[in-house]
Structure 1
Amino acid sequence: MKTNNMKKVIYILSLALISVGCSKFVDVNDNPNNPPISTPSLTLPVAQQDFAALNARTLTYLGNFLAVNWATPSNWQANAIFSRYDFTSQDFANVFETSYADIFKNLTYIENYEDPSGAVDYTNYKAISTIIKGFQYQLLVDLYGDVPFTEANLRGENTTPAYDDGETIYKTVIDNLTDVVDMINDAPANAENPGGQDIIFGGDMDHWVEFANTIKLRMLVRMSNTGQDSYITSQVGLINANGGGYIMDDVASNPGYTSDENKQNPFWDYFRKPATGDEQNRGDFTVATTTAISFLQNNADPRLSRLYAPSRTGSAFKGTVQSTALPGTGFTSNDLAKVGPGLLKSANQDQIIMSLAEALFIQAEAAQRGYITGDAKDFYEMGVEASFVQLGVEDAVEEAEIYYTQPIKNVSWDASPNKIEAIITQKWVALNGTSSIESWIDLTRTGFPLGLPIPAESAGSRPVRLLYPASEVSRNTANVPKLTAADVFTKAPFWK
C-alpha cells in the first residue's frame, strides 16, 4: 500500500514544509481561494502527521492515566495533576489548539482548494479531509461538549466563532460521513489519487470508506444512552446501504518514521531518545498501576508482558496506585513495571489511530444493542484476538482462544452476565497504551470497567470533560461557554 521509499520522501517533504517556518506555512490558508504556496498534495501529509501526533501523545497519555493504566513512581514529582484531578484551563490546551490551529486549518485549506488551471480534481483529498475532521470533531465534543463548528476554520473572516451544540455537531458529522462515501464512490475519473501523499492509507480510497463507516458507527454507539435508537438504526441502515463495510486492519500512519531526531514515531519519541533509543524522562516516570497489573495477572492474560516491561529490580510486574504521596522504598521507577515492548516496538513503528480491536469491540456493542446484524460474541472474541495480534503475543490467535475460553466474568463471553460490561472491560485492556482516551470516554458513558480507583488526593470524583484553554477564553470571551473547576466533574457531553 505504501512503499518505504515513498514514505521517507513524503516525511522529509513534510518536515521541510514545517521547518521553513510555521507562521509562513500557516499563512497560506488566509485566502483559501488563492493559495500562494501549497497544494492539497503538500498539505495533506502535514495535516495527517499533526493529527497522528496529537492522538499519539497528549490524548493517549491523558487517557491512560484517567483509565487507570499508568501511574507515577515515588522518585518523580511529575504528573501530579493525574492524582489530584485539579484540571485548569492551562491543562491539555494543545488538544483544542492543535485541532483548530493546525489540523483543521490545513484540512479546511484542502477542502477549499481549487486548482487554478482546472486540470486537477482533488475530490479524494477533500474526502480524506472530511473523514479526518469527523474523527477529530467527535473527540472534541467528547472531551469539551460544545465547540466551534459552523463558524470555525474561517481564519481572518471570523476570529471569534460561535460555539455549536455538541449533539448538533455529532449529527452533522454523521451526515458528512454519510455523504463523503458518495463523494468517494462518485469521484470523477480524473480525480487525483493521493498515493504516497496519504500517509495513512496510501491513497486506497476503499479503506477510507471503511474508516468513515467505522467512525460513524462509533459515534452512533456512543449515542446509545440518548433514547434515539430509531435514529441510530436508520443511520446504520445508510452504512449498510453503501456496502463499504468497516475497517479490517489497524488504521495507522507512517510517513517513513526513522530513529533520526524529529523523525521518530511520535509515541516512541515520547518515551525514547533519537538514534540511541535510550529512555526519555517520561519513560522513567510512567509506570504501571496496580489495577491494570492485577487484572491481567488475575486473568492469566499473556498480554501482560507486552503491555508492560518488568521492573529493573527483580524483573517484577509490579504496579502502584496513582498518588503523589507514595513511600520511597519499593515504589521507585526501578521497582515498578513500565510501558511495555508491545507498545514501544521501534522508532519506525506505525502510529495506530484506530485499532482493529477497537473497531471489533464497537461492532460487538452495536450488535449486542441490536443496531447491527451479526453475532456479538463473535465480534467480541475477534476483538480480543486482534488485540493479541497487535501487541505481538506469540501464537496470538491460539493464545487469545485459550484466554477468552476461561470461565471468568468479563473474559469469557458465556461467563459474563452483563455483556456490555464484558465488551467495555476487554476494550479497556485492548486500548491500553494505544487509544486510551476512548477508554476514559467509555468509562464516562457506561461506568465500565467497574471499580477503577479514584486517587485519594482528588476530590473524590473522576473528570468527565476538559476545560476550554485560557487562550480561547481570552480571545473568544463572548462565545466560550462559562465553566468552573467543578464543571470538570459534572458537565459531561450530551451522550452521557
Structure 2
Amino acid sequence: MHIKRLTAGILAGLLMVMTGCKDYLEVNNNPNQVTAATPQLVLPDALATTGWYLTGNTPSGVAGNFYFLNLWMGYWNWSGNYSIATSDKNYQFTQGFNNSIWSSAYLNLKNYNYVDTQAATLGQPLLQGMAKIMKALHFQLLVDTYGDVPYTSALQGTTTILPTYDKAQAIYEDLFKQIDAGMALLAKGDGTLNPGPNDIMFQGDISKWLKFGNTLKLRMLLRQSEKADRASFIQTQLATIKASGYGFLGAGENAAVNPGYSNSQNLQNPLFGAFYAINGNPTTLNNQYKGNLYGITFYKSTNDPRLGAYYRPVAGSTNNFNGTLFGTTDVLVNSQVSDIGPGVLKNVSQNSPILQSHESLFMQAEAAQRGWITGDPKTLYQAAISESFINVGRTAAEATAYYSQAGVANVNWEASTNKIEAIITQKWASENGTAPFEAWSDYRRLGLPTNIPISQDPSTTVRQIPFRLLYPTSEYSTNAANVGAQGTINQFTSKIFWEK
C-alpha cells in the first residue's frame, strides 16, 4: 500500500470510497457514493492526509501549508534564486494567502467525520474514538490559525451549506469534551474491531492513542496559560487528565504517520518529496528554501550538534554553515547558503510527524515547572532535549554533553534563571522544519524566543510577526454573511482568544 500526494483534483474528493485495499490517498472518487467505504479503510487515508497537511506541499506544489512559518520563526529563508512576492516578505498578505490551510482542513474533517458516524453505526468504538480525537486536532489547528471558525454547523453537507461561526473559546472547551468522548470509546472498545495496520499512526496501540489524547489536551491547556480567566478551566481539565491515569506521550512515542512511503513518483514522504525528486535531484522548493542565519547562529553559539541535522554545509565545505535573515536584501547565491539538513529531509520513507515525542516532553516540562502536573521539570526538560536529538538522527550521549555545558543559559538547566524561557527556547530549537506551527504558537503566547528577528525587507511597515491568518477568499465569496459577521480582520491586531 502506498500514498499518493494530493493534487487539486484529488482534493475535490471529500470521502474515500473503497471496496478493497487501495492506495491510501486515492481519494478522487464520487463523494456521494459512500456506501462502499468502510471506516477502517477511510481512516488511513485521513491520517495520511493529516501528515501531508502538516508537512507536505499545497495542491499547487508551490509551497507547503506551513512552510512560511519556518521563515517567520527563524529556521529558513528564501534563496536568492527566485523573485519572491513582496507580501511574502513583509507580512502584508491578503485573503488569498495560503487558503489551503482552511480548505484542506475542512475536507479532511469530512473524512474523520465519516469515520466517526459510520463507526458509531457499525458499533466500532475504537475507530470512532480515533476519529473524534483527530477531528479535535484539526479544529484545534483551525482555531489557532483563524480564531472563530464554523464548528457546530460545519460538516453538515447540503443540510447546512452556509455554516455559522462559533467563538474560538467555546470551540476549545467543546474539543476537550470531544477528546474525552473519544478516549472513553477507546477505553471501552477492547475486543471490538481494531484497525491494526490501517491505523498508520499507532498501528492499533490503544494505550498510545489514549496518551495522545491527553497530550493534545495538554497542548491546548498550555495555549491558555497566560489568560488569568482560564485558570479554573485549566485546573479542572488537569484533574481529568490526572484521574484518567493514561499519562502523556513519552520517549520513543512519536505520533507520526507512514502509509508506506517509497521512492516512486508521488509516493514519497510529502516533506522529503517536496525537496527531492525520485532521481535524487533537487526540486524547485529545494532551491527556494535555505538556511536562516538566525537559526544557524543559535545552534553555533550553543555548540549544538543539531546544526548539521537542520542544515547542510555550504557547497564545497564540510563544516561551514551560512544563511541569511528573513526578508534581507543582502541576497547570497545558493552556493554560499546552507540547504535544509538531513535531520529534516532524511529519506523518501521517513514518517510524517503529527505530534513528536520531544514536543510532548517539553510540554510536560513546562506544565511541571508551572506546578500543573507532578514530575521534575529538569528531568523532563533534559529528556525532551535527548528525544529531540534522537529524532533528528543524533545520539542521547550528544544531548547529555550539550545540556551539561556549564554556564550556558537556555541550554544548561542550572544556568537558566528563567526556566520557562529555557524550556520554550529549547522547544523552539527542536521544531526546526517539522513543527513551525508550534513554534509560532509559543511565540504568540509567550513572545519566546525573544529575539526572533522581524523581516528585514524595507517594505515591512508593521514590524510584528502576525497574530493570525485571514479568512480565505472562498468564505467571502460563498459564505459572505457569516464571515462578514466576524467584522474587519487584521493579522496584526485581531488576536486568537488565548494570545497575550
The answer to whether structure 1 residue 306 and structure 2 residue 309 are counterparts is yes
For 1:113, the equivalent position in structure 2 comes to: 118
User: What does the per-residue CA deviation read over 1:117-176, in whole Å, with 9 as the maximum and x for residues that have no partner?
Assistant: x8x532111111111111111111111000111001001100111100001111110122
For 1:94, the equivalent position in structure 2 comes to: 100
Quick check: 356-365 or 474-483, which moved more? 474-483
SS of the equivalent of 2:23 reads helix
- In structure 2, the CA distance between the partners of 1:220 and 1:84, relative to structure 1 (3 Å rule), is same
Is the 2:24–2:44 Cα contact (8 Å) retained in structure 1?
no
The answer to whether structure 1 residue 289 and structure 2 residue 292 are counterparts is yes
Quick check: 58-67 or 361-370, which moved more? 58-67
**RMSD across aligned positions (CA):** 2.2
For 2:165, the equivalent position in structure 1 comes to: 163
Distance across 2 between alignment mates of 1:15 and 1:434: 22
For 1:342, the equivalent position in structure 2 comes to: 343
The answer to whether structure 1 residue 68 and structure 2 residue 74 are counterparts is yes
Note the C-alpha offset of 1:482: 5.8
SS of the equivalent of 2:208 reads helix
Note the C-alpha offset of 1:179: 2.4
User: What does the per-residue CA deviation read over 1:62-121, in whole Å, with 9 as the maximum and x for residues that have no partner?
Assistant: 2211211100122222465442112211111111101112x1111111111168xx8x53
Unaligned stretches of 5+ residues in structure 1: 29-34
The answer to whether structure 1 residue 370 and structure 2 residue 375 are counterparts is no
Distance across 2 between alignment mates of 1:286 and 1:114: 42
Is the 1:467–1:483 Cα contact (8 Å) retained in structure 2?
no
Distance across 2 between alignment mates of 1:15 and 1:100: 18
Residue type of the alignment partner of 1:241 = A
For 1:385, the equivalent position in structure 2 comes to: 386
User: What does the per-residue CA deviation read over 1:268-317, in whole Å, with 9 as the maximum and x for residues that have no partner?
Assistant: 1111112x121111111111111101110011000000110111154520
For 1:149, the equivalent position in structure 2 comes to: 151
Is the 2:322–2:338 Cα contact (8 Å) retained in structure 1?
yes
For 1:469, the equivalent position in structure 2 comes to: 472
For 2:46, the equivalent position in structure 1 comes to: 47
The answer to whether structure 1 residue 401 and structure 2 residue 400 are counterparts is yes
Residue type of the alignment partner of 2:398 = E
Is the 2:119–2:127 Cα contact (8 Å) retained in structure 1?
no
- In structure 2, the CA distance between the partners of 1:389 and 1:79, relative to structure 1 (3 Å rule), is farther
Is the 1:253–1:352 Cα contact (8 Å) retained in structure 2?
yes
For 2:131, the equivalent position in structure 1 comes to: 129
User: What does the per-residue CA deviation read over 1:30-82, in whole Å, with 9 as the maximum and x for residues that have no partner?
Assistant: xxxxx423110221111111111010133441221121110012222246544
Distance across 1 between alignment mates of 2:340 and 2:85: 16
Is the 1:7–1:199 Cα contact (8 Å) retained in structure 2?
no
Distance across 1 between alignment mates of 2:139 and 2:147: 10
Q: Aligned match of 1:254 in 253, 258, 261?
A: 258
Is the 1:288–1:319 Cα contact (8 Å) retained in structure 2?
yes
Distance across 2 between alignment mates of 1:218 and 1:48: 20
For 1:323, the equivalent position in structure 2 comes to: 327
Note the C-alpha offset of 1:247: 1.0
- In structure 2, the CA distance between the partners of 1:108 and 1:55, relative to structure 1 (3 Å rule), is same
Is the 1:80–1:324 Cα contact (8 Å) retained in structure 2?
no
Quick check: 163-172 or 313-322, which moved more? 313-322
- In structure 2, the CA distance between the partners of 1:232 and 1:11, relative to structure 1 (3 Å rule), is farther
For 1:205, the equivalent position in structure 2 comes to: 206
Is the 1:10–1:255 Cα contact (8 Å) retained in structure 2?
no
Distance across 2 between alignment mates of 1:273 and 1:7: 15
Note the C-alpha offset of 1:325: 2.5
Distance across 2 between alignment mates of 1:215 and 1:15: 25
Is the 1:87–1:485 Cα contact (8 Å) retained in structure 2?
no
Residue type of the alignment partner of 2:266 = N
User: What does the per-residue CA deviation read over 1:393-423, in whole Å, with 9 as the maximum and x for residues that have no partner?
Assistant: 1xx1111111112121111111111111111
Note the C-alpha offset of 1:492: 1.7
Percent identity for Structure 1 against Structure 2: 34
Compute the TM-score of the two structures, normalised by the length of structure 2.
Answer: 0.90
Compute the TM-score of the two structures, normalised by the length of structure 1.
Answer: 0.91
Is the 2:149–2:167 Cα contact (8 Å) retained in structure 1?
yes
Distance across 2 between alignment mates of 1:10 and 1:340: 41
SS of the equivalent of 2:256 reads strand
Distance across 2 between alignment mates of 1:94 and 1:41: 26
User: What does the per-residue CA deviation read over 1:344-396, in whole Å, with 9 as the maximum and x for residues that have no partner?
Assistant: 11101111111111001111111111111111111111110000000111xx1
- In structure 2, the CA distance between the partners of 1:483 and 1:92, relative to structure 1 (3 Å rule), is farther
Residue type of the alignment partner of 2:472 = P
Residue type of the alignment partner of 1:99 = A
Residue type of the alignment partner of 2:408 = I
Note the C-alpha offset of 1:486: 7.0
Counterpart mapping for 1:477-496 below 5 A: 477-481=480-484, 487-496=490-499
Distance across 2 between alignment mates of 1:405 and 1:481: 54
Is the 2:2–2:267 Cα contact (8 Å) retained in structure 1?
no
Residue type of the alignment partner of 2:52 = A
Is the 2:254–2:355 Cα contact (8 Å) retained in structure 1?
yes
Distance across 2 between alignment mates of 1:147 and 1:93: 14
Residue type of the alignment partner of 2:36 = I
SS of the equivalent of 2:110 reads helix
The answer to whether structure 1 residue 236 and structure 2 residue 238 are counterparts is yes
- In structure 2, the CA distance between the partners of 1:131 and 1:233, relative to structure 1 (3 Å rule), is same
Distance across 2 between alignment mates of 1:428 and 1:168: 28
Residue type of the alignment partner of 1:480 = V
For 2:22, the equivalent position in structure 1 comes to: 13
Aligned length: 471
Distance across 1 between alignment mates of 2:92 and 2:313: 31
Is the 1:366–1:372 Cα contact (8 Å) retained in structure 2?
yes
For 1:194, the equivalent position in structure 2 comes to: 195
For 2:415, the equivalent position in structure 1 comes to: 415
- In structure 2, the CA distance between the partners of 1:145 and 1:27, relative to structure 1 (3 Å rule), is same
Is the 1:10–1:45 Cα contact (8 Å) retained in structure 2?
no
Distance across 2 between alignment mates of 1:259 and 1:482: 48
